[in-house]
Amino acid sequence: MNLCRAIGVLIILLLVLLLQHIIHEYAHVLIAKVVGVRTIRIQWFTYSKIVLGTKVFFENEPTFNEENLGKKWGWISIAGLMSTLPIGYIFTIIYLIYSKYMDNWLMLVVWLFSVVFLICDPLYFFIGSVLSLGDVVGFRKVFNIKKSVSIIVCLLVLLINWLIIKSFW
């Protein structure tokens, strides 16, 4: 019976991770549309720098080596994080307010949503800040943010979110 529960939890976790990733990527597409940039395609789970990742390709997308990138590219870069963090905070609030009224499985699902949405993107941005890869590179370039500052800010967000999760773990 415990093996069945563990498999169930693992399946739920994988589904939540997949949903978080889809929301992150489609946030880039949505903000691009808002700022007038056309999305060419999304290359799901096959774009590799270090590990398999996803890349959204945009029309007239600049390389981040160029000078004078428009602010719209910075907003497109940060869109994934700015979409998943509020969702994580909402699930955390739901968990904190309603967990005593939920059955165990529903409570676990809401808790997993909180954890995944609060940890994945901040961790991705922290690692990206340290290794100079991913969405954070575009954001740093467009808004002239120093690497050290982005590392510190991303680490702080990650630690604050970890403390929030740890407070009700």
The model's pLDDT over 26-54, given as tens digits with 9 standing for 90+, comes to 999 999 999 999 999 988 887 666 666 78
- To which H or E segment does residue 46 belong? strand 39-48
| Plot region of 103 (φ>0 → left; ψ -120 to 50 → alpha; else → beta) | beta
Q: What is the pLDDT of residue 50?
A: 61
Q: What are phi and psi of 58, to 5 degrees?
A: -115, 155
**Cβ atoms of residues 115 and 91 within 8 Å:** no
What are the residues facing 39 on neighbouring strands?
A: 58
The percentage of the chain sitting over the pLDDT mark of 90, rounded to a whole number, equals: 60
Checking if the pLDDT of 128 tops 70, the result is yes
Checking if the pLDDT of 133 tops 90, the result is no
Residue ranges of domains in the chain: 2-167
Q: 33: Cβ–Cβ under 8 A, 6 or more apart, which residues?
A: 39
